[in-house]
Amino acid sequence: MQIRRLLALQFLMLAAAVSAAPEHSPWPGGIAVIEAGHSYGSAPQATFNGRPVLVMPKGERWVAVVGIPLGTEPGKQMLRIGEQEVAFEVAAHAYAEQRLTVKNQSHVTPDQEQLDRIGRERQVIDAALGHFRAVDTTGVGLVAPVDGRRSSSFGLRRFFNDQPRSPHKGMDIAAANGTPIVAPRNGVVAAMGDYFFNGNTVIIDHGQGFVTMYCHLSEIAVEKAQPVALGDVIGAVGATGRVTGPHLHFGTYLNGTAVDPAILLPQP
């Protein structure tokens, strides 16, 4: 598939939205937006749980934009900004539970060869999702990578054939097989490949630990290390990997932590 840029007016309008700071959303799977000093000076270094954190301008201030892991207990958390420790409160958030029956048993209980493959792929995926590229950033706002009905399934606690699995770390967007997927802001392709669980996958690095992931594609239209611009076609919706039908699994990550894409997207 040829790379095409969709130069529709909507992208020009939405380009303004992508430079906005997100809403302070301080719950597990959410994003804390913490004041980090006056922007007269250079951007401070911020870390959370030992990992570097995205810092961006907001008006005349710097703000740290912190991904909060899904497993975080409600209560006080500490963010390091320069030489200071800054406390913030994490609120409780209830996520639903879902039980699924999956017909292909080999996708529920992989054999040793599959486990080896899954382990190798996990390393590549985790390295891409946790990568911190030190560049200036103007924000973390996104345009929708594909039009379609968005599920509110981020954070769902899932059971496949009664076996517990890790919570759902993305948003599923319903769309027909072959629907083009566009880059939701500028970035660089950090990884791409055909993975056991995720099928055909693209991971885009937007800088400062802000990373987005696209799974189950029918087709991949980009190469590793390729720069992509807002609106570039990166692939097409499909049903590859462990899925029951075509949809886009859309993941968004800050400081190596999956956060709810709904916080970063405009209202549908």
Residues that bind Zn ion (CB under 5 A): 170, 172, 249
- Considering the complex, state which of residue 145 and residue 170 has its C-beta at the smaller distance from Zn ion: 170
Q: What is the DSSP letter of 112?
A: H
Shortest Å distance, C-beta 172 to Zn ion: 4
Q: Which residue is nearest to Zn ion (CB)?
A: 249
**What is the maximal distance between C-alpha atoms in the chain?**
58
- Considering the complex, state which of residue 10 and residue 152 has its C-beta at the smaller distance from Zn ion: 152
Cα 102 from chain centroid?
25
Shortest Å distance, C-beta 10 to Zn ion: 25
Other CB atoms within a 10 A radius of the CB of residue 116 amount to 11
Residue 198 — left, alpha, or beta (φ > 0 → left; ψ -120 to 50 → alpha)?
alpha
Shortest Å distance, C-beta 152 to Zn ion: 12
Tokens of 267: 């209202």
- Considering the complex, state which of residue 172 and residue 260 has its C-beta at the smaller distance from Zn ion: 172
- Considering the complex, state which of residue 121 and residue 172 has its C-beta at the smaller distance from Zn ion: 172
Is 175 within 8 Å of 247 (Cβ atoms)? yes
Shortest Å distance, C-beta 45 to Zn ion: 33
- Considering the complex, state which of residue 32 and residue 204 has its C-beta at the smaller distance from Zn ion: 204
Angstrom distances, CA of residue 16 to CA of 6, 74, 138, 174, 266: 16, 34, 11, 26, 11
Radius of gyration of the chain (CA): 18
- Considering the complex, state which of residue 29 and residue 170 has its C-beta at the smaller distance from Zn ion: 170
Shortest Å distance, C-beta 248 to Zn ion: 8
- Considering the complex, state which of residue 36 and residue 125 has its C-beta at the smaller distance from Zn ion: 125
Shortest Å distance, C-beta 168 to Zn ion: 6
Tokens of 18: 């992508």
- What is the side-by-side strand order in the sheet with 31-38? 31-38, 61-67, 54-58
- Tokens 């462990």, residue located: 242
Q: What is the C-alpha separation between 220 and 144, in angstroms, rounded?
A: 18
Is 98 within 8 Å of 159 (Cβ atoms)? yes
Shortest Å distance, C-beta 238 to Zn ion: 13
